[in-house]
Structure 1
Amino acid sequence: MQSANVQIEKYRRHLTSFASRATPLCVPFLDLLRASPEAHLECSCKVCGEAVHPLRFNLWYKNSGEFSLNPKIVTFLKNYAQAFPLNFSLYQQLVGTDFQYDKVKCTSLGIDVRTQSSASRVKLWHIIEHYPEKEAMVLNFPEISPIARILKIQPGLLFGFDFGLDGGTAVKVYPVLHTSHIQQSRSLLNILFGARTLALLEQCKWVNFGFTTKEAGLSLHLFPRNPKMFIDNLHHPVLSDAYRLSGAQKVIISLDQAEVESGCCSSFNLYY
């Protein structure tokens, strides 16, 4: 666990590194960060073509046996909902009134702030374990690709919600594969993916396959063993610059799987 001051310094260093300034939308998150020394701060940068979005932060909370959503997160969401039309209906539909929070390993609360507030969003994710009935419910949610169920090989599941400040909501599901399961599932992966995707998977300790109700296709959230070599081999100068600016030794890189197979990645997310 890092002290609040260390995490606040990381937050500020991220803003400085990416030549960005916090906006009023960041203030509630910074307050939450100060009040959450027990959580881990994850900084992020998203690039879509020529557009760079560096005001992206997540706080990861480990569950220590709680039977309800962390009250700090509840307060944050309520405060945001007073200012913006956040739509929690999909969350209530999936989580319901009988959600077993003691089966949540971690919960993440994040923000993705854009130039226009209407394009910004609040993010809420859970990692669940030993909760097969909820995993099945999430994986069978309408508009989630059936490929997500095929790739649900390992125990546990990461799923979450994007609450747009414009009132839109999306469900996201992330089956994970670690190194051993990547090797054991090679015949299945050979059917689902092309050579370029498979080559990236071989270089990683684990991968989350991202599916969403918002759009078709899938994203690859990759944790490479050797980030510098991995990024150098992608030949993406903007990604290389973002990695250098982060100053991080360990990073997660998110790529669009269709772009990977096309050999031309124009968008990515970097997390550290």
Structure 2
Amino acid sequence: MDKELIDQFIINSLKEDVGDGDHTSLATITAGTTGKAKLLVKDTGILAGVELSLEIFRIVDANLKVSTYINDGAKVKPGDIAFEVEGDARSILTAERLVLNCMQRMSGIATKTKEIVDLLQGTNTQVLDTRKTTPGMRYLEKWAVRIGGGVNHRFGLYDMILIKDNHVDYSGGIREAIEKAQQYIIKQNKKLAIEIEVRNLDELEQVLQTGGINRILLDNFNYDNLREAVNIIGGRYITEASGGITIDNIRQYAECGVDYISVGALTHSVKSLDLSLKAV
């Protein structure tokens, strides 16, 4: 956990939610009232966000005591209790919604990721996430992918050069895009991997003739072309497939021999896991 980044996220999120005070709790609960609440699982899946929740409770009120029974990455079912929190009742309620919002979404992502990871068992292919994330929650969503057994792609625009179709078109062609990227890295003294997207076998040939890259993204290839492309590359570069890949066909794409398959749906269209924080 990147504590500095996470703490800033929590502080900003609480500021957004609490404003000048949790007036419902302030109005209805006598100051100093203590209580206990349990995190109740109401769905089947992979739990994620427990470690984050501990930090949320700490920032809201360092005197809150949390007893953890289920850790991140564990399979859960309806009726399971992930943890119990005890202390000032107002503090528990202040933290409640942020804890649930984060854990429900993270658990949904981890659950979907684990489902895909299981489908890929026996192949040499790993599933990647993408930048198709919720603004402000990227770190949490990519963290959840890791909890589910997936692999993080680049975190943002700054930690890899990924030359996509628009970059190729705007720069004047594949060779031009690659050579400009190589020159940029040298000029800026950056240590960045270069990945380039290709749309067909002709573009793949241009990439192989140019060289100087680290990974090739094979976008919207059918099974036959993807298999042929992997054979042509012959292990010289890391391979990644994307586009038109769903939970129903991901196994077939993996069997074409690619190293990675990137799935934007891991973070942009998952169903949150049903969780609830209930007073005990």
The TM-score normalised by the length of structure 1 is 0.27
Query: Quick check: which has more Rg, 1 or 2?
Result: 2
Q: Which has the higher contact order (CA 8 A, sep 6+)?
A: 2
User: Per residue, is there more strand in 1 or in 2?
Assistant: 1
